């Protein structure tokens, strides 16, 4: 049965070793750097148990009779895929698209385990069991794949003291040591899937690193070193000043494996470079995962388009040609991503064992395009907003000051809106695009789905393998065949 919000918060008090500002966090849900975001996640869990207009789209009963999130259903038809996307949209709307990782994100990975457990031979029973656990309890899983940035010119085995590798094998499992660059929301998860994700494939010499396994976030020896918390920075401020930073900071942490024991039952790939390399592409993991990425990104663009429209209205510029051009462009991008998500669901790829996966053409296109589009959207909003983002009082207190208020009311008002309403909107917009939280949103969209080069090149790789490249070349040939040195041939 899906956890309730209270059960989720309690599950985070498992002795996990999270560090921030040099201290080990005693109780994550009670710590000022994490409590609001943890509380938001708990609210997501509660929404599964609360009857409302969202219930039908959001929930699903697993084959084992558990109340679950509908995105965990293995799709066998187009309709199932569309329903997965609809369920993800319900939660994405609750955080306006600003949280890349919520418990439904990794439903895509869970599905890949459940749809094709045979891929993980000889660990197929682990894949099956983990799918059922993740789906039945809506466990929060994230992944960590990228190695620390010590020296990108080296293969894992050439940096023997850095990357996660086996240091000892035992009858009941193995011990790993090393680190992973970053796990978004890792501090809020129940467990993390550890694998190798790099532009350079693992070679046979990297067999100690050729692993895929799941580790509980509270496992002894696992340390999570948090980046600066935007929630903590906004702690003493009114939500009026930091409405997004203060509740949707999903955090990112470096994971350090200081001799962590991994039992065989949590193992999916062991010392098998070929399988560890094929894991993401072959098991349709990227397609299943990035459906969430696409739904969330489209939701975020819907929100940013709304922000931009309201900014232009409040500035009295919505009728001006240059502004209309920019607002129109943002709307076009939003619609394009909604269309890619629809296409991903309505033109699925066949998957193993009678399943279907979101179309690889649509998914890999949106994965490559989102990192290019997001900085452009930020730019367009800044162009339309101009210096308005800087004509913002330092805090809600300024509006509450009897001395300042008459001036603020006169000089900060907008077109058809009083000063308080205008400042409220613009502070929200600045938190979305300009604060440390807002800037990290761009970095996230740019990188979270993979290396900036590979996310584009993967489209070529797929086209080379699915016949599209021949079709492109043949199409040009049709044109070339229409004429020669002597004139028209057709
Ligand atoms: C906000 C944020 C959240 C993230 N969350 C997660 C997470 O939850 N889980 C997770 O696993 N990862 C996460 N990541 C990591 C993310 O997947 C990587 O940042 C991304 O895959 C790019 O890899 P990289 O950072 O190692 O950059 P690199 O791959 O090192 O690329 C940096 C630059 O170096 C060049 N380069 C590096 N190596 C090579 C090479 N061998 N050949 C050619 N060019 C090369 C690239 O072209 C690029 O220009 C997150 C990243 C960010 C920024």
Q: What is the mean pLDDT of the chain?
A: 96
Using the atom order of ligand 1, give the atom closest to the CA of residue 180. Answer: 11
| C-beta separation of 66 from 137 below 8 A | yes
153 Cβ closer than 6 Å to some ligand 1 atom? no
Say how many Å lie between the CA of residue 451 and the centre of ligand 1.
Answer: 5
Domain-located, residue 198: no
Cβ-based neighbour number of residue 489 at 10 Å = 9
Say how many Å lie between the CA of residue 448 and the centre of ligand 1.
Answer: 8
Q: Give the DSSP H or E segment for 214.
A: strand 211-216
Q: Give the DSSP H or E segment for 329.
A: helix 321-346
Residue 283 has pLDDT above 90, yes or no: no
- Nearest-CA residue for atom 10 of ligand 1: 144
Using the atom order of ligand 1, give the atom closest to the CA of residue 186. Answer: 8
Residue 297 has a pLDDT of: 98
Residue 486 has pLDDT above 80, yes or no: yes
Residue among 195, 439, 451 whose CB has most ligand 1 atoms within 8 A, to mutate = 451
49, 52, 57, 58 alpha-carbon torsion, rounded to 10°: -20
Radius of gyration of the chain (CA): 24
443 Cβ closer than 6 Å to some ligand 1 atom? yes
Residue 386 has a pLDDT of: 96
| C-beta separation of 426 from 389 below 8 A | yes
Q: Which letter does DSSP use for residue 31 in this model?
A: S
278 Cβ closer than 6 Å to some ligand 1 atom? no
Q: For residue 472, what are the contacts with CB-CB under 8 A and spacing of at least 6? A: 463
The pLDDT tens digits of the residues spanning 25-65 come to 999 999 999 999 999 999 999 999 999 999 999 999 999 99
Using the atom order of ligand 1, give the atom closest to the CA of residue 443. Answer: 53
431 Cβ closer than 6 Å to some ligand 1 atom? no
**Rounded CA separation 198/147 (Å):** 8
Tell me the backbone φ, ψ of residue 414, rounded to 5 degrees: -125, -170
Domain-located, residue 408: yes
Q: Which residues pair with 68 in a beta bridge?
A: 60
Question: What percent of the chain stands above pLDDT 90?
Answer: 95
Tell me the backbone φ, ψ of residue 102, rounded to 5 degrees: -130, 170
**Rounded CA separation 183/251 (Å):** 8
Say how many Å lie between the CA of residue 279 and the centre of ligand 1.
Answer: 18
Residue 336 has a pLDDT of: 98
CA-nearest of 319, 307, 272 to 97 is 307
469 Cβ closer than 6 Å to some ligand 1 atom? no
Residue 97 has a pLDDT of: 98
Residue 281 has pLDDT above 80, yes or no: no
Domain-located, residue 457: yes
**Rounded CA separation 181/197 (Å):** 11
Say how many Å lie between the CA of residue 454 and the centre of ligand 1.
Answer: 10
Query: How long is the chain?
Result: 490
Let me know if 362 is exposed, middle or buried by CB neighbors in 10 A (0-12, 13-18, 19+).
buried
| C-beta separation of 238 from 428 below 8 A | no
Domain that holds residue 427: 285-471
Residue 305 has pLDDT above 90, yes or no: yes
CATH code, 291: 1.20.140.10
**Which string of DSSP letters, residue by residue, matches 56-97?**
HHHEEE-TTS-EEEGGGSPPSSHHHHHHHHHHHHHHHHHTTT
The pLDDT tens digits of the residues spanning 137-194 come to 999 999 999 999 999 999 888 988 999 999 999 999 999 999 999 999 999 999 999 9
Residue among 149, 150, 152 whose CB has most ligand 1 atoms within 8 A, to mutate = 152
Say how many Å lie between the CA of residue 200 and the centre of ligand 1.
Answer: 12
**Rounded CA separation 76/132 (Å):** 17
The pLDDT tens digits of the residues spanning 178-234 come to 999 999 999 999 999 999 988 888 999 999 999 999 999 999 999 999 999 999 999
CA-nearest of 40, 29, 36, 37 to 94 is 40
224 Cβ closer than 6 Å to some ligand 1 atom? no
The pLDDT tens digits of the residues spanning 363-405 come to 999 999 999 999 999 999 999 999 999 999 999 999 999 999 9
Find the helix packing angle between 107-115 and 124-137, rounded to 10°.
Answer: 140
Residue 282 has a pLDDT of: 73
Find the helix packing angle between 107-115 and 285-315, rounded to 10°.
Answer: 160
Question: What is the band of 90 on the pLDDT scale with cuts at 50, 70, 90?
Answer: very high
Let me know if 48 is exposed, middle or buried by CB neighbors in 10 A (0-12, 13-18, 19+).
buried
Residue 200 has a pLDDT of: 86
Tell me the backbone φ, ψ of residue 152, rounded to 5 degrees: -70, -10
Domain-located, residue 316: yes
Domain-located, residue 338: yes
Say how many Å lie between the CA of residue 447 and the centre of ligand 1.
Answer: 6
Q: How far apart are the first and last CA of the chain?
A: 67
- Look at the alpha carbons of 211, 212, 217, 220 in this order and tell me if their dihedral is positive or negative: negative
Q: Which residues pair with 194 in a beta bridge?
A: 144, 213
181 Cβ closer than 6 Å to some ligand 1 atom? yes
Residue 197 has a pLDDT of: 87
| C-beta separation of 282 from 274 below 8 A | no
Residue 280 has a pLDDT of: 78
Domain-located, residue 192: no
CA-nearest of 198, 245, 274, 309 to 95 is 245
Residue 199 has a pLDDT of: 83
**Rounded CA separation 240/431 (Å):** 10
Residue 157 has a pLDDT of: 87
Q: Which letter does DSSP use for residue 402 in this model?
A: T
- Look at the alpha carbons of 209, 213, 217, 222 in this order and tell me if their dihedral is positive or negative: negative
CA-nearest of 156, 122, 141 to 285 is 141
Residue 301 has a pLDDT of: 98
23 Cβ closer than 6 Å to some ligand 1 atom? no
Structural domains in the chain (count): 1
Q: Give the DSSP H or E segment for 175.
A: strand 173-184
Q: Which residues pair with 224 in a beta bridge?
A: 18, 255
| C-beta separation of 165 from 178 below 8 A | yes
79 Cβ closer than 6 Å to some ligand 1 atom? no
Domain-located, residue 70: no
CA-nearest of 301, 400, 300 to 100 is 300
Domain-located, residue 356: yes
């Amino acid at each position: 049965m899906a956890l309730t919000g209270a059960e989720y918060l309690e599950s985070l008090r498992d002795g996990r070793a999270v560090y921030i500002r040099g201290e080990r966090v005693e109780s994550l849900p009670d710590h000022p750097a994490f409590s609001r975001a943890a509380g938001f996640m708990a609210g997501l869990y509660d929404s599964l148990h609360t009857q409302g207009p969202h219930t039908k789209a959001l929930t699903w009963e697993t084959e084992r009779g558990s109340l679950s999130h509908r995105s965990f259903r293995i799709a066998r038809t187009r309709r199932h895929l569309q329903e997965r996307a609809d369920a993800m949209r319900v939660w994405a709307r609750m955080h306006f698209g600003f949280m890349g990782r919520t418990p439904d994100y990794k439903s895509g990975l869970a599905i890949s385990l459940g749809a094709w457990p045979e891929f993980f031979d000889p660990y197929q029973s682990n894949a099956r069991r983990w799918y059922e656990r993740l789906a039945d309890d809506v466990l929060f899983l994230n992944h960590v794949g990228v190695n620390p940035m010590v020296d990108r010119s080296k293969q894992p085995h050439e940096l023997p003291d850095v990357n996660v590798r086996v240091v000892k094998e035992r009858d009941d499992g193995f011990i790993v040591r090393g680190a992973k660059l970053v796990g978004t929301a890792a501090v809020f998860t129940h467990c993390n899937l550890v694998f190798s994700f790099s532009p350079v494939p693992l070679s046979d010499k990297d067999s100690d690193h050729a692993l895929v396994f799941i580790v509980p976030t509270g496992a002894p020896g696992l340390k999570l070193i948090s980046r600066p918390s935007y929630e903590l920075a906004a702690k003493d401020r009114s939500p009026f000043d930091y409405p997004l930073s203060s509740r949707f900071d999903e955090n990112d942490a470096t994971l350090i494996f200081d001799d962590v024991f991994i039992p065989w039952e949590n193992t999916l790939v062991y010392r098998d470079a070929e399988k560890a390399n094929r894991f993401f592409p072959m098991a349709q993991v990227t397609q299943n995962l990035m459906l969430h990425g696409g739904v969330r990104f489209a939701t975020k663009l819907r929100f940013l388009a709304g922000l931009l429209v309201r900014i232009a209205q409040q500035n009295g510029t919505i009728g001006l040609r240059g502004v209309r051009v920019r607002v129109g462009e943002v709307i076009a991008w939003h619609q394009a991503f909604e269309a890619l998500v629809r296409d991903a669901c309505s033109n699925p790829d066949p998957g193993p064992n009678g399943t279907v996966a979101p179309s690889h053409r649509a998914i890999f296109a949106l994965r490559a395009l989102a990192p290019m589009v997001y900085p452009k959207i930020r730019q367009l909003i800044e162009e339309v907003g101009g210096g308005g983002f800087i004509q913002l009082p330092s805090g809600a207190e300024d509006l509450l000051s009897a001395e300042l208020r008459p001036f603020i009311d006169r000089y900060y008002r907008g077109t058809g809106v009083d000063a308080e309403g205008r400042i409220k909107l613009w502070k929200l917009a600045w938190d979305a695009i300009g604060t440390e939280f807002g800037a990290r949103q761009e970095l996230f969209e740019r990188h979270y789905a993979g290396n900036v080069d590979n996310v584009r090149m993967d489209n070529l790789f797929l086209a080379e393998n699915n016949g599209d490249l021949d079709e492109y070349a043949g199409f040009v040939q049709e044109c070339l065949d229409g004429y020669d040195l002597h004139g028209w041939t057709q």
